[in-house]
Amino acid sequence: MKKFILILNLFIGITFTSFAQNKLTADFGNAQAKLIKFYPNPATSVINFDFQKGYDKSYSFQIFNFIGKMVLELKNVSSHTSINIEDFYRGIYIFQLRDRNGSIVESGKFQVNK
């Protein structure tokens, strides 16, 4: 009886694991391509943002500190933007790319080390 329960638990575990892996692969397959690539992360003095093809030049780009206070806003961003972060404090910052209506198109986070 103990062998039967052990085999049943093993079978259920393998079935669940393969289901979870298939679900995870399916979710990644449907993921949208990122519009923003940023580097270096963590940054010390400058961070670069490259906007991929398909972004609208009317988008606004905002950076918030971890408390939620907006520390920078750029309107009509170009395809390559370098931001001087020497005046930023050490910590985590969140960026958002917003369309004309104010909806978030993409967001992410980066770290400032000093």
Every domain of the chain and the residues it spans: 1-31, 36-112
Model confidence pLDDT, tens digit, residues 3-60: 656 554 554 555 444 444 444 444 444 456 678 899 999 999 999 999 887 777 788 9
**CATH code given to domain 36-112:** 2.60.40.10
Q: The tokens 């080390």 sit on which residue?
A: 113
Q: Name the pLDDT band for 72 (thresholds 50, 70, 90).
A: very high
**66 vs 109: CA distance, rounded Å:** 9
DSSP string, 14-45: HHHHHHHHHHHHHHHHTPPPPSEEEE-SSBSS
Model confidence pLDDT, tens digit, residues 99-114: 889 999 999 999 999 8
Q: DSSP letter at 52?
A: P
Q: What is the CA radius of gyration of the chain?
A: 21
Q: What is the pTM of this model?
A: 0.69
Q: Nearest 5°: CA angle at 90, between 50 and 60?
A: 35
Q: Please check the confidence at residue 62 and state whether its pLDDT lies above 50.
A: yes
